[in-house]
Amino acid sequence: MQTICLYFQVHQPFRLKSYRFFDIGNDHYYYDDYTNESILNKVATNCYLPTNQLLLKLIKQQKGDFKITFSISGVAIEQFKLYAPEVLSSFRELAQTGMVEFLAETYSHSLVALKDSDEFIRQVKKHADLIEENFGIRPGVFRNTELIYSNQIGNMVANMGYKTMLTEGAPHILNWRSPDYLYHGETEVSLNLLLKNYKLSDDIAFRFGDMEWSEWPLSPKKYVRWLLEKDQSQVINLFMDYETFGEHQEKHTGIFNFLKNFPVEALKTQLIRFTTPSEISKKLKPVAPLNVKHPISWADEERDLTAWLGNEMQQEAFNKLYSHLPEINNCDDPLILKDWELLQCSDHFYYMCTKFNEDGDVHAYFNPYSSPYKAFINYMNILNDFSLRLASLSKKQETDNFLNELITQLTKKELDLDKIESELDNFRKNLVFNKNYQSA
């Protein structure tokens, strides 16, 4: 029996408006509301709503045999609430079937795991709370932003109590081994690792509509045959962006017909079953440890961090952002804290990528800026304004703290004076009493 784990990532960043140097210090609102609403409604119409409806129908038809998994970022859920509440309702309807698992991730879809453990833990907890609030189930499996994983990150995830985590089946960490098995962490043996089969995943996510692809057109029967040919596998993990359906691969490519018929063809063989990460972790035993000294991700041929932190612009922006952590930890201003969350989205750093050749097409597709340099300048202008606001708040807090301390000291001295005055009154009364007593 071939086990399939079908997982979808759902994420939309809050895109930034064009922010000029002269706006610094004058304009503290950073977001392009029109673009954000337009894009979300477009993706909702093309992808989220029709795909959710299709999956709901499949789940009901297959009566417990078809299961899927989602990871929905906190900032995506915020946009659903703002611009398309019907999308959130449709995800809740999927959750009510009991055939859908929702994963934990960072609330802001951020790269914070590379920088600060406390902020990482805070974001993961906030996201888990949000998932439980909206879908009634607290996540038990973790998926880090961009599938980024390392031994160190695995330790943090395990220390938070998670027993299973998803990551990339990067060839350079597997060597001769297959991604189609359950592994465990090198230093955290209690943490099970599910690895993406990027070849079979990308056949749908990236190559499906490519008429120059040697395997085009990809039919459900052909794809099921490929799955069955991997008869020595424990589990085949098909991980992809949810926007694959109707957005990255448009409706005219036949992607919805593929999704509609693929599970039916697979289950018809009686040799394939669909399951969730939690079920896999309970049923299967890891075959070996996975040693990942340097972080891996899903992106590009290298499967490393260079898509987000590969050049000096990205590193400068990333380091400047997180240099504010000490101030943020002492901040209670809700507007600044909200901006802090939204400015951490990994997308902002992805837009600054300067890779070209084969990887460049992917980066160009996702990038709303005409160049990575414009993305960098725009982000840094905003970050400079954010820095000024933090500094101003810190000065105000210092002044407030000074005044509060001064008031405390004055209050203490006033109480001391009252005590002395009371003692003097008692002394005067005793003095008068004694004088009167002696006269008598």
Is residue 362 domain-shared with residue 221, that is, in the same domain?
A: no
Please report, for residues 111, 170, 172, 173, 183, the alpha-carbon distance to residue 176 in angstroms, rounded to integers and kept in the order given: 29, 11, 9, 9, 14
Q: Mark which of 298, 328, 358 sits at the end of a domain.
A: 298
Closest CA to 202 of 230, 167, 165, 237: 237
What pLDDT does residue 359 have? Answer: 47
Q: What average pLDDT does range 123-152 have in this prediction?
A: 98
Is residue 312 domain-shared with residue 172, that is, in the same domain?
A: no
pLDDT at 394 over 80: no
Residues 6+ apart with CB under 8 A from 333: 393
* Counted domains in the chain: 2
Interatomic CA distance for residues 265 and 423, integer angstroms: 94
Is residue 226 domain-shared with residue 361, that is, in the same domain?
A: no
Is residue 268 domain-shared with residue 318, that is, in the same domain?
A: no
What pLDDT does residue 196 have? Answer: 98
Q: Which of 103-107, 310-314, 389-393, 405-409 shows the lowest mean pLDDT across its residues?
A: 405-409
Q: What average pLDDT does range 282-308 have in this prediction?
A: 95
pLDDT at 386 over 80: yes
Is residue 92 domain-shared with residue 125, that is, in the same domain?
A: yes
pLDDT at 304 over 70: yes
Interatomic CA distance for residues 20 and 379, integer angstroms: 10
Is residue 271 domain-shared with residue 316, that is, in the same domain?
A: no
Q: What is the pLDDT of residues 250-266, one digit of tens each?
A: 999 999 999 999 999 99
Q: What is the DSSP letter of 149?
A: B
The mean predicted confidence, pLDDT, of the chain is 92
401 compared with 116, residue with greater pLDDT: 116
Is residue 369 domain-shared with residue 394, that is, in the same domain?
A: yes
- Helices 372-439 and 312-322 cross at an angle (nearest 10°) of 10
What pLDDT does residue 357 have? Answer: 45
Q: What is the pLDDT of residues 13-67, one digit of tens each?
A: 999 999 999 999 999 999 999 999 999 999 999 999 999 999 999 999 999 999 9
> Around Cβ 92, how many Cβ atoms within 10 Å?
13
Assigned token pair, 386: 């954010």
Q: Mark which of 298, 323, 340 sits at the end of a domain.
A: 298
Question: What pairing do the DSSP bridges indicate for beta strands 141-143 and 164-168?
Answer: parallel
Is residue 135 domain-shared with residue 263, that is, in the same domain?
A: yes
Is residue 117 domain-shared with residue 230, that is, in the same domain?
A: yes
- Residue 212: active-site member: no
CA Rg, the chain, in Å?
Answer: 28
Q: What is the pLDDT of residues 349-374, one digit of tens each?
A: 999 999 864 444 554 555 789 999 99
Residues 6+ apart with CB under 8 A from 67: 6, 59, 99, 100, 101, 274, 275, 276, 279
Is residue 256 domain-shared with residue 317, that is, in the same domain?
A: no
What pLDDT does residue 100 have? Answer: 98
Which CATH number fits the domain that encloses residue 155? Answer: 3.20.110.20
Question: What pairing do the DSSP bridges indicate for beta strands 183-185 and 289-290?
Answer: parallel
Is residue 149 domain-shared with residue 113, that is, in the same domain?
A: yes
What pLDDT does residue 360 have? Answer: 44
Is residue 191 domain-shared with residue 47, that is, in the same domain?
A: yes
| Residue corresponding to tokens 């002492």 | 330
Q: Model pTM?
A: 0.89
Q: Mark which of 250, 278, 298 sits at the end of a domain.
A: 298
- Cβ density class 313-330: b for 16+ within 10 Å, e for less: bbeebbeebbebeebbee
What pLDDT does residue 419 have? Answer: 76
Structural domain of 18? 2-298
Q: What is the pLDDT of residues 78-129, one digit of tens each?
A: 999 999 999 999 999 999 999 999 999 999 999 999 999 999 999 999 999 9
Active-site option among 119, 146, 168, 265: 146
